[in-house]
Every structure is written in structure tokens, then in C-alpha cells.
Structure 1
Amino acid sequence: MARQSILFFLLFCSCSSLAIAQDPPYKAVNLGNWLVTEGWMEPSLFDGIVNKDLLDGTQVQLKSTRLQKFLVAENGGGADVLANRDSAAGWETFVLWRVNDSSFNFRVFNKQFIGLDGANKLVATSNSPSNPETFQITRKSDEPSKIRIQASNGLFLQAQSETLVSADYGASTSWQDNDPSVFNMTIVKTLQGEYQITNGYGPLRAPQVMQDHWNTYITEEDFKFMSQNGLTAVRIPVGWWIAYDPNPPKPFVGGSLAALDNAFTWAQNHGMKVIVDLHAVQGSQNGNDHSGTRDGYIEWGESYIPETVAVIEFLAKRYGNKPSLGGIELMNEPTLGSNLDTLKKYYQQAYDAVRKYSETTYVILGNPVDHDSKALLSFAGGFNRVVVDVHYYNLYSDQFINTTAQQNIDYIYNQRASDLSGITTTNGSLSFVGEWTAAWAVQGASKEDYQRFAKAQLDVYSQASYGWAYWAYKCQYEPWSLKWMIENGYINL
């Protein structure tokens, strides 16, 4: 009987150890594009949207076919809209706010909106859009870059002269270039984030589209795969609207909170931890698709601190005592220029909010990407169980253009190792490489090159005291997908 009891105890310990999540340092992966949409990772998500190239935040330039001149918001806003520019830059670029499939507001450089002046002249003086600032775009069926723009008075815009653009053209068109109501539209930049997909599909279709995505993009089978292949944690980007689930402010839709709940259950089932990462904050902290921005402007600042802290408090209250919680990241990739003191003020208040519910949860401070990696070190040293998150990409910088595979690998072993050691202290905050990838700017790299590059990063980033997280688990671009890299022998954990 004693022998049977011992065997049962050993068997029990062996089985139950699968459900005991590890402590740092973590080998983690980002579940990007799951609860915060990033269209570049899975463009097919947007295929069902009418005019999917004219989503919120799309930057357009408009050229009169008759005058062969670009429309411009004089002075960048606050004055008339003219048609007198030979080339286009900031003042000649307009940012779309999408009202529906074919109706839009046009935001100008200084953030005002184009509208009518009370008669029919076009001006850019309104600080918030209403009916006079709403226009319908009609595209030529066989040449969608050719457009006409109908104003709220039912008439079409026309470039009468270089100094007069008005909404008083009522005739139909044969789309000839001498028609003053015809414009060539050039799309300069697009956004494909959570705001774009939910507002693009609209309130009737978006809830089902997003629910289908959340149910299928990441499942418990993925957590099983991750745990079986050496991963001990996931970093899950979430948006501020999750705190208002199931009825978040429009155009966002409810359901992501239930998906996050599932992730905590799946993580516990497979002996993993969950790092909840506030990836998108209200007002946008960096203007990128993944910040939940509507139009690319960075609005987040001191006035947004209370509501952003409230999101962190919501997450801490809900998950602070979950055994599978690995940490809460207060903000992803802030790009705030000189506002480092504002960021620190927010971090202090958000840290305090977490501590109301848990004394042991790791609190992660995202290092501002436009500052040195040591920018938060002395500040972070005043807290308990705090982590500084840095992101390392051999991309997005001219220094990596035309570099060889070996030069990139040497850069990891030398420069990255030095940078990381500089923020990896023995008695202060922990260090975390919260995003990295095997994608790089090297052209024609072999499988062996990718293997060596990945190994170099694993060698170096494993020195981070809190660990690392690959970006991402799934992606249409293979080197960005850790799942693909593992399955095809590029990375061995």
C-alpha cells in the first residue's frame, strides 16, 4: 500500500506540474493581431469592406484634372481650401474620417476639417465635423482614382480657379479631364487597425466579423503547441476598449474580454503565464495602427491619464489574483517626444492601481521608443517587481539597409548585448525584450542565415532578467511567425 501511495504521489506530481506556470525569465510570444487588429499581419480580414482602401486615417491628395493643381488647406488649416499647388506635401494631404461606405470627413494638417463656409465655398476651419463637413466620394467604376466629391448641399465640388474651390457643380459627368468637378485621388498612406476594421464593417457586420476572428485566430490548441515547444508565456496586446466590454464606445465591439478570459484558462491548463499588454490607449500613444488610432495623430497626454489608469485598474482587479498572470504592461511603445515626465506620472499612478489588487504582480513599463533604453532606469528603481520593456528590431532604420547576414548577427552579439546589459541590473528593475523577430532587411538570406540570426538573438535576449517575447505567434510573413519558424526548423527553443 505504501508503495502504491508513493507511485500515485509521483504520478500526481508529474501530471499536475503541467499546470504550474513558471516564473521569470520567460520564453514568450506575442499574440499580435488577435485582440488588437493589425491588418498587415492578416489583410484578408478587411476583404469584406466596401472601399476598403478608404478607411479611417487614410491619407489622400486631390488633384484637379482641369487645372492640374493639387487642393491645399491654406496655412495647413484655418483658412480657405485652394487649388494652386504643383506638388503635394503636408498641407496638400487630407486624412479621412469614415462616416459610412461612401461618406467621409477630410481632416487637414492642423487638425481642422474641410467644410462649407455657410454658402458654397470650401474652407478648413471647423474643429469638429458635422453635416457641412461631410462629403460623399463617387469613384469612376473603371478608374477608381478618378473621383467626384458631393457636398452636404447636394452639389459637387469644383475647382473653378486656383483661388476658388466651391460646392456648386450640379451637372452629371463623362469623367473628362476638362470637367472642373473631377479630381485624381492619390492614396498616400493607409491604416489597418481596430478602429479601421470595426468602423469599416459598421455596427451590423463588425460584431460577427470580430467574433469569428477571435474564436479562430488563437485557440487552446495554439497554447498546447506553444507549451510543447518550450514557450512559457504569452504577451497579449489589448486595447483600452476592453475595459468597457461588452458595450465599448463605437465603433469598437464587445467580445475581446471573453477571449482574454479564455487565454487565462488555456494558459493555466498548459503551464503558461499571460502578460497583459495595454497596446492601444485612448488618444493613441504613437499614431500607429496597433495603437487603436482613428487617424494617426498622437493625442495621448496628461489629460488622458485618469481614463488610462482606469483601464489598468480594471485589468488588475479582474486578473490580479489569477495564478496564470505573469504581468501587466502599462503601455506599449509610447512615442511622446519631450513628454517623458507625463509618461512617468502615468506609470506611477498605474503602478499604484495594480498594487491595490496585487502586491506580487509584475508591472511592466514600456520604454519610449524615441528615447534611450535607459530613460526609465532610475525611475523604475523606486518600485517593487517592476520590469522595463525594450523592443529590438533589425528593421525600421537606415543603418540596416544593405547590410549582410553576418553584419546583422554581429550587431546582435555586440551592440544589442551591450544595450541589454546596460538595463539588466542586479538589484533594480528587471529587463524584458518584449518584441523581436527573425525578420530583417537582408535580401536573399538562406535558411542557415535565418537560423544563425535567430540563435544569436536567443543567445543574447535570454540574458534579460524577465525574458523575451517574439513578435508574433502567427503572421502572413513567415519570419514574423514563430509558429511557422518552429514548424519549419528555423528556431529551436
Structure 2
Amino acid sequence: MVGNLPIVGLNSTWDDSKQANPNVPALNKPWGSYRNNPIRAVNLGGWFSLEPFITPSLFDYDPSLGIVDEYTLCSYLGPKKAAAVLEKHYATFLTEQDFIDIAAAGLSHVRIPFSYWSVTTYSGDPYVLGVSWHYLLRAIEWARKHGLRVNLDLHAVPGSQNGWNHSGRSGFINWIIGNDGPANAKRSLDIHNQLSIFFAQKRYRNIIAFYGLVNEPGTTIPQSELAAWTVSAIKIVSDNGFAGTITFSEALRGLPAWQGELQGYGNSLVIDVHEYVIFDPNLLVFEHSKKVSFVCSIFESQIQASMNTATGFGPTMVGEWSQADTDCAQWLNGIGNGARWAGNFSGKTTPSCPTGNSQCSCALSNQPVTSFSSEFKTFLLSFAEAQMSAYESGWGWFYWTWKTESAPLWSYQAGLQGGFMPPVAYERSWSCSGSMPSFGSLPEFY
């Protein structure tokens, strides 16, 4: 046990001589400057922190049962069956072949979301304790074997930091704020104490490049209280000897909100922003070409401003983005919540696609990849390359996510297989400095 966490299954020796691709150093060599050699990477979402839209098969129950997140799933299944169902998922959803394919795609890092019940549970928790921990450790060893550096992402903390299904339990925030918020904030610090002791081991020095404190805290948490918690967490992780870079979320506030905050850490602390154009109806209505130009102008300028401590926080990475240009993927907004695009999200009636009428159907957006037109693939490729170009003006990017069961515009793997993702991430045909490609007669409601 290290940090009261088991090392069972780990070899006593390891090999850090591998490099993910010819453009990046081997694990046992210094990376150098992320400003000059940016991250090109993917998330392994939906593996150790479930999301219904990534793996809808795990949530295929009668809606009347109210199974909408990992909490309600485990509550319904009960301890023994939940453990069997989830272990089968952990063992099969991603395999070593995925790490081979990720490296072959010219990517250099993986961000691995995991939940607090990998480490511990509390009274009343239905979650499966500890099983995912063993698979997390195996995932890190697969990454090592293929030269991929790791960004650890604590995706769900006690009490839920945002009330969304990917935090484990939908509903309300009970972390920092809420009746049990202070206690759950303290529990999260205790978890980081365990994790940082474990990952400060010599065997992880070359491979755990980034250590994420908490994913996407909700905007109702006062920023001053979130910043104070972050300072406490940074101290714990640093004092325990973790030698990599710590990441903190911009917490859905926008990068400018953190200008002048949490200073004095240099390159040992990086802000993580998630860039999507589909959850804001004001951006969702943009036509295809405008979505691309928005990324190249607004998102890129925001990243550049954030990188400068005179105008922003400083070191900045994009921890999540996708090619999705609608919010139509099944259960993306939560089970039973509909889509803004079609005008049936949470009681809304006005569609938020560019035509704003009955043409705004999710039927076209949810077609199988084999039905994608060449014009649509050209758009998707351009949209991806625009984002890659823009986000590399900071420390780089992590695509969300590597694999889904049935949401191809959220799957880097599907993009490669379908021909709408560059085959090699660092060899691209277009960037924001080029002229806008033509998308032919692509309908704007597509």
C-alpha cells in the first residue's frame, strides 16, 4: 500500500524509454516547452466515470426507473450486480489496442477521467468501490508501454461539484456549497492526499505529466471559495512530492475570470478550459462557416490572452473539445432532456439551429457515419483542424473523447475511421491562417 492505496498488479520494474511519435521525446526525456511543442491528445471519457451519451447501452432501462447517472444505476443494480456490470465495462470498453491506435494517430498524451469511488466511498454511497482503481493503474501502464504521457483527471468528487451526470450524481451541488459542502470539500482534499502520495512514487515521475484537481466545478460555487480550496489542494499535492504540473478548471466562468488569480506557481500550475460551441444557443445557431471562423478568431484570441499573465492567468490548455456542431447526440444533455438544436431541451420550444424552424431535426445530425456527405465530412475536418490550430496557441489540447458507442462526432476514433479527422494529428491540411474551405451545398440544418 502507498498512500493507503494498493499497488497489487504492478511490476517492480518499468521501462520509460518509449516515445509516442517522432515529434515528441521519450518518457524518460524532458518534454521541454509546451508552448513550443503543444499537447495533441485525447480523453478516455466514459471509461471510469460513466456518461450515458458515451455508453447508452449501460443506461438502457425503462425511463420510469429513473436511471440517469452512475448513482442511480448502482442503486438499482445493487452491490453485487453493479460490480459485475462495471467490471465488465472497465475490462472491455478500452483495451491496449486503443493505446496503440492513439499513439499511431500522432497523439502524445491521454487524459484519464476517474471518480472518487476508485479510492473510497462514504455512508450511503451505492458506487462500486475500488474496482476501477486496478484498471486505472493498468491504463497508465498501457500508456507507458506506448510512450503516452498521462493527465490524471479527478472527474467526480464527493457531493458532486456540478450536479451533472458525469460527476456521478445528477441534481444539485453539495461540494463546497450545500449542507454537506464543507465536509465534502474536506473529503476531496483527503482523497488528493492519498492520490498525490501514490503518484509521487518514482515509477510515475516520467509518465504522470498532469494532475487535475477537479473537473468543471459549477458556477454557483463562489469563485473565492473555489480558489481557496484550490490553494489547499495545490499545497497538499506539492508537499507530497508530486513533480508534474497541476491543473485546475476555469470552472465554466471563462478564462478572463482568472486573470490575476492563483499566481506565483509558474509553469507548475495550468488552467484547463473546455471549449464547446453547442451548449450556448447564441453560438449553436451559427452557420457552419461561422462556427469555424468563431473558433479561429474568438477562441484563439481568448487562449492567447490567457497565456499572458498581463491579460490572463498564464499557462493554458484546452482539456476538452469536440467536432460536434449540434447537441443532438442521444442523452448528451442528460437522459430525457432533449436537444437545444431541435427545440425540445428542458421545456424549450424554439429550435436553435441556423434556420430556426421545423428543418431543425436531430435526424440528420444523428445519421450513421456511412450516410455522411462529402461536404459534411469536409466541414467536420475543417472544424477539427481549426480547433487544433487555435488551441495550439496555448499548451495544446485534449479531444473529448476517444471512443463512444454511437456518437461519432464525439469520437476521435470514429473521426479517423470515417475520414473526418486528420490521420496524423501533427500533419494537417488546413489551419486558421488559411482561407475558409468551401462546404458546397451543405444545408445549414444538417
User: Under a length normalisation based on structure 2, what TM-score does the superposition of the two structures give?
Assistant: 0.71
- 2:298 aligned counterpart, secondary structure: helix
| Cα distance, 1:239–1:454 mapped onto 2, change above 3 Å | same
**Structure 1 residue aligned with 2:162, among 286, 293, 297?**
286
For 1:365, the equivalent position in structure 2 comes to 248
Structure-to-structure mapping, 1:321-340, within 5 angstroms: 321=201, 322=204, 323-337=206-220, 339-340=222-223
**Structure 1 residue aligned with 2:282, among 399, 417, 421?**
399
Q: Aligned-pair distance for 1:248?
A: 9.1
For 1:469, the equivalent position in structure 2 comes to 398
| Cα distance, 1:43–1:16 mapped onto 2, change above 3 Å | closer
For 1:210, the equivalent position in structure 2 comes to 86
Deviations 1:263-319 (A, max 9, x none): 1101110001111111111111111000112x4111111342211111122221112
Whichever of the two has the greater Rg, that structure is 1
Whether contact under 8 Å (2:259, 2:309) holds in the other structure is no
Whether contact under 8 Å (1:241, 1:249) holds in the other structure is no
Q: Aligned-pair distance for 1:471?
A: 0.5
For 2:151, the equivalent position in structure 1 comes to 275
Deviations 1:453-490 (A, max 9, x none): 1111111111112x210001111211100011012221
For 1:244, the equivalent position in structure 2 comes to 120
Matched to 1:20, the amino acid is A
Structure-to-structure mapping, 1:80-91, within 5 angstroms: none
For 2:41, the equivalent position in structure 1 comes to 28
For 2:262, the equivalent position in structure 1 comes to 380
Whether contact under 8 Å (1:236, 1:276) holds in the other structure is yes
User: Under a length normalisation based on structure 1, what TM-score does the superposition of the two structures give?
Assistant: 0.65
Q: Are 1:194 and 2:76 counterparts?
A: no
Query: Which of the two has greater strand per residue?
Result: 1
Whether contact under 8 Å (2:17, 2:26) holds in the other structure is no
The CA distance in 2 between the partners of 1:33 and 1:417, in whole Å, is 28
Matched to 1:485, the amino acid is G
Matched to 1:306, the amino acid is K
**Structure 2 residue aligned with 1:263, among 135, 139, 146?**
139
The CA distance in 2 between the partners of 1:272 and 1:373, in whole Å, is 28
- 2:260 aligned counterpart, secondary structure: helix
Structure-to-structure mapping, 1:59-458, within 5 angstroms: 191=68, 193-244=69-120, 250-254=125-129, 255-293=131-169, 295-301=170-176, 302-321=182-201, 322=204, 323-337=206-220, 339-358=222-241, 360-369=243-252, 371-384=253-266, 385-425=268-308, 429-441=314-326, 446-458=376-388
Q: Are 1:488 and 2:418 counterparts?
A: yes
Whether contact under 8 Å (1:437, 1:479) holds in the other structure is yes
Q: Aligned-pair distance for 1:198?
A: 1.4
**Structure 2 residue aligned with 1:46, among 45, 48, 59?**
59
The CA distance in 2 between the partners of 1:16 and 1:275, in whole Å, is 17
Q: Aligned-pair distance for 1:250?
A: 3.4
Whether contact under 8 Å (2:112, 2:151) holds in the other structure is yes
Q: Aligned-pair distance for 1:320?
A: 2.5
Whether contact under 8 Å (1:242, 1:248) holds in the other structure is no
Whether contact under 8 Å (1:277, 1:330) holds in the other structure is yes
Deviations 1:310-348 (A, max 9, x none): 112222111223021021111111113251111111101
The CA distance in 1 between the partners of 2:408 and 2:320, in whole Å, is 16
Q: Aligned-pair distance for 1:359?
A: 5.1
Structure of higher RCO (CA pairs closer than 8 Å, 6+ residues apart): 2
- 2:210 aligned counterpart, secondary structure: strand
Whether contact under 8 Å (2:19, 2:148) holds in the other structure is no
| Cα distance, 1:392–1:52 mapped onto 2, change above 3 Å | same
- 1:380 aligned counterpart, secondary structure: coil
| Cα distance, 1:450–1:248 mapped onto 2, change above 3 Å | farther
Q: Aligned-pair distance for 1:14?
A: 13
Whether contact under 8 Å (2:274, 2:318) holds in the other structure is yes
The CA distance in 1 between the partners of 2:54 and 2:96, in whole Å, is 21
Q: How large is the RMSD of aligned CA atoms in angstroms?
A: 2.4
Q: Aligned-pair distance for 1:53?
A: 4.0
- 2:99 aligned counterpart, secondary structure: helix
For 1:61, the equivalent position in structure 2 comes to none
Unmatched runs of 5 consecutive residues or more in structure 1: 1-12, 57-190
Matched to 1:219, the amino acid is T
The CA distance in 2 between the partners of 1:15 and 1:35, in whole Å, is 27
Whether contact under 8 Å (1:433, 1:468) holds in the other structure is yes
The CA distance in 2 between the partners of 1:34 and 1:396, in whole Å, is 23
Q: Aligned-pair distance for 1:52?
A: 5.2
- 1:379 aligned counterpart, secondary structure: coil
| Cα distance, 1:400–1:214 mapped onto 2, change above 3 Å | same
- 1:375 aligned counterpart, secondary structure: helix
Deviations 1:50-108 (A, max 9, x none): x454236xxxxxxxxxxxxxxxxxxxxxxxxxxxxxxxxxxxxxxxxxxxxxxxxxxxx
- 2:53 aligned counterpart, secondary structure: helix
Whether contact under 8 Å (1:317, 1:357) holds in the other structure is yes
Quick check: 354-363 or 272-281, which moved more?
Answer: 354-363
Q: Aligned-pair distance for 1:261?
A: 0.2
| Cα distance, 1:312–1:377 mapped onto 2, change above 3 Å | farther
- 1:40 aligned counterpart, secondary structure: coil
The CA distance in 2 between the partners of 1:375 and 1:463, in whole Å, is 19
- 1:212 aligned counterpart, secondary structure: helix
Q: Aligned-pair distance for 1:358?
A: 2.5
**% of aligned pairs identical?**
28
